[in-house]
């Protein structure tokens, strides 16, 4: 799909400047091609020498850190998780956020929070979109164990996954590594059990009965229905497992559903989506379970860049054509500014009637409610540098993996994770 010329007219004099962009290799590969075309056409339209580089998502935090230390590199760097620990060396993009809001309405709160440095109040990262998490399950596999609606709770997940592994030989495909998907999964489980990594006031809160219960849960799951490959999970592993008929359920954005439906249609049509898993009803008292975004697109401008205004204009142009981004990503990229893709969540809109696969009807309709369960990475408090550093460091994945393998008791795994958080806090302030 070719990118369309941007319709956003720059308000700053940027002709004759340049723009070097670094971003991740999108999980929906067609987006990379669309971005190349958009960057090229936008550059030509505005007399800007614009280039874009792509890298594995896991390498971008280190690349950003290195470029900031060296004082040279790209003018615009995008990551899929918050990085407020680098805020002091990044340009304040409050003006971009304000201008985007004036044109398109207010951004979603959790997107805004994941680009905000709570210590300084500066918008260090402009979040233009996100992808929500949901449970995706194989209906036929769960129907075979008399759970046709899939798992509704973490307890259902444990019971059903064991039964599926014992009767069908299909393991539970939830990662126990240091990758972002594992962090998101453990966070969701922790929140569903009434715990958190950091409390509302920014204090470390991981040492709790809730955390211990979650570590014990994953220890049990690993022993009963997981394979050792989950210890090496990457951001693409969920997709691969579902595509290769090696998963009955995953916790993921909708890329695995899209990829499987496109390339292994008989498997894809067996997939169903539902909201995240509930936890202990006595703790949650009927509250909606919450999860972080699967990814959020955080664009950052290094303070050393001599083309900061050009980067600002590019971001505003990108938001102005977000309906095209949504189409190119096969609806993976949800907008941070909802008015830019008005058909996405309307009744009868893109999530009710899939334009790519009309025969799939309302399979993604549950995602129309995803704003109700999606929260910022630092929930129940702000997304602090410590919360972000813990994500990059893989603290939660290491905690559950150490206990699952029997390297540490569950209690000692929690204590080790708390000690690691204390070390990270000293580093990021």
**pLDDT tier at 410, thresholds 50, 70, 90:** very high
Looking at the chain, the whole-number percentage of residues with pLDDT higher than 90 is 86
Closest CA to 391 of 254, 273, 325, 298: 298
Please tell me the distance from the alpha carbon of residue 404 to that of residue 393, in angstroms, as a whole number: 19
Helix then strand then coil, in percent of the chain rounded to 5, is: 50, 15, 40
Which is it for strands 76-79 and 49-55: parallel, antiparallel or unpaired? unpaired
**CA-based R_g, the chain, Å:** 21
Q: Give the pLDDT of residue 262.
A: 85
Q: What is the pLDDT of residues 32-77, one digit of tens each?
A: 999 999 999 999 999 999 999 999 999 999 999 999 999 999 999 9
**pLDDT tier at 302, thresholds 50, 70, 90:** very high
Q: What angle is formed at CA 260 by the lines to CA 259 and CA 264, rounded to 5 degrees?
A: 125
What mean pLDDT do residues 18-22 have?
98
**pLDDT tier at 2, thresholds 50, 70, 90:** very low
Torsion sign (Cα): 351, 171, 151, 143 = positive
Residue 199 has pLDDT above 50, yes or no: yes
Please tell me the distance from the alpha carbon of residue 305 to that of residue 324, in angstroms, as a whole number: 28
Q: Give the pLDDT of residue 295.
A: 96
What mean pLDDT do residues 165-194 have?
96
Mean pLDDT across the chain, nearest whole number?
Answer: 93
Residue pair 52/262 in contact (Cβ under 8 Å)? The answer is no
Of 282 and 207, more confident: 207
Q: Give the pLDDT of residue 263.
A: 87
- Kindly report the backbone phi and psi dihedral angles of residue 251, in degrees, each rounded to the nearest multiple of 5, phi listed first: -115, 110
Beta bridge partners of 238: none
Please tell me the distance from the alpha carbon of residue 139 to that of residue 151, in angstroms, as a whole number: 10
Of 360 and 83, more confident: 83
Q: Enter the tokens of residue 277.
A: 């898993």
Q: Distances from the Cα of 311 to the Cαs of 36, 120, 126, in angstroms?
A: 16, 22, 11
Q: What angle is formed at CA 170 by the lines to CA 165 and CA 173, rounded to 5 degrees?
A: 105
Of 99 and 355, more confident: 99
Examine residue 414 and say whether the peptide bond preceding it is cis (omega within 30 degrees of 0).
no
What mean pLDDT do residues 294-313 have?
97
Using DSSP's 3-state secondary structure scheme, residue 130 falls into strand
Residue 284 has pLDDT above 50, yes or no: no
Q: Enter the tokens of residue 46.
A: 């505005």
Q: Give the pLDDT of residue 281.
A: 58
Q: What is the pLDDT of residues 109-145, one digit of tens each?
A: 999 999 999 989 999 999 999 999 999 999 999 999 9
Residue 282 has pLDDT above 50, yes or no: no
Q: Give the pLDDT of residue 10.
A: 62
């Amino acid at each position: 799909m070719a990118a369309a010329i941007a319709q956003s007219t720059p308000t700053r004099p940027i002709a004759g400047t340049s723009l070097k962009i670094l971003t991740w290799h999108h999980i929906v590969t067609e987006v990379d091609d669309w971005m190349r075309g958009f960057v090229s056409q936008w550059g030509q339209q505005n007399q800007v020498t614009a280039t874009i580089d792509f890298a594995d998502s896991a390498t971008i935090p280190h690349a950003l850190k290195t470029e900031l230390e060296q004082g040279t590199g790209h003018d615009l760097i995008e990551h899929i998780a918050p990085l407020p620990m680098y805020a002091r060396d990044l340009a304040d993009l409050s003006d971009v956020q304000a201008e985007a809001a004036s044109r398109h309405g207010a951004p979603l709160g959790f997107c805004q929070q994941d680009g905000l440095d709570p210590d300084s109040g500066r918008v260090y990262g402009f979040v233009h979109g996100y992808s929500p998490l949901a449970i995706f399950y194989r209906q036929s596999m769960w129907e075979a164990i008399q759970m046709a609606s899939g798992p509704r709770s973490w307890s259902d997940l444990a019971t059903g996954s064991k039964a599926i592994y014992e009767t069908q030989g299909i393991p539970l495909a939830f990662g126990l590594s240091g990758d972002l998907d594992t962090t998101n999964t453990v966070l969701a489980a922790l929140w569903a059990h009434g715990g958190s990594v950091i409390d509302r006031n920014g204090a470390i809160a991981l040492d709790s009965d809730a955390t211990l219960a979650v570590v014990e849960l994953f220890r049990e799951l690993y022993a009963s229905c997981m394979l050792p490959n989950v210890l090496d999970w990457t951001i693409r592993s969920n997709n691969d497992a579902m595509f290769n008929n090696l998963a009955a359920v995953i916790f993921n954005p909708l890329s695995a559903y899209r990829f499987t439906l496109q390339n292994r249609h008989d498997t894809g049509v067996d997939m169903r989506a539902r909201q995240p898993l509930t936890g202990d009803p006595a703790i949650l008292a009927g509250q909606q379970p919450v999860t972080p975004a699967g990814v959020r697109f955080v664009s950052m401008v290094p303070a050393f860049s001599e083309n900061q205004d050009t980067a600002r204009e590019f971001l505003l142009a990108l938001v102005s054509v977000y309906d095209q981004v949504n189409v190119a990503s096969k609806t993976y990229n949800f907008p941070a500014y909802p008015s830019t893709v008005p058909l996405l969540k309307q009744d009868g809109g893109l999530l009710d009637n899939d334009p790519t696969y009309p025969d799939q009807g309302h399979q993604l309709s549950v995602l129309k409610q995803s704003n109700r369960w999606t929260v910022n990475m630092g929930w129940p408090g702000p997304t602090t540098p410590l919360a972000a550093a813990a994500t990059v460091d893989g603290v939660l994945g290491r905690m559950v993996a150490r206990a699952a393998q029997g390297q540490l008791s569950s209690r000692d795994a929690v204590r080790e994770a708390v000690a690691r958080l204390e070390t990270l806090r000293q580093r990021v302030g």
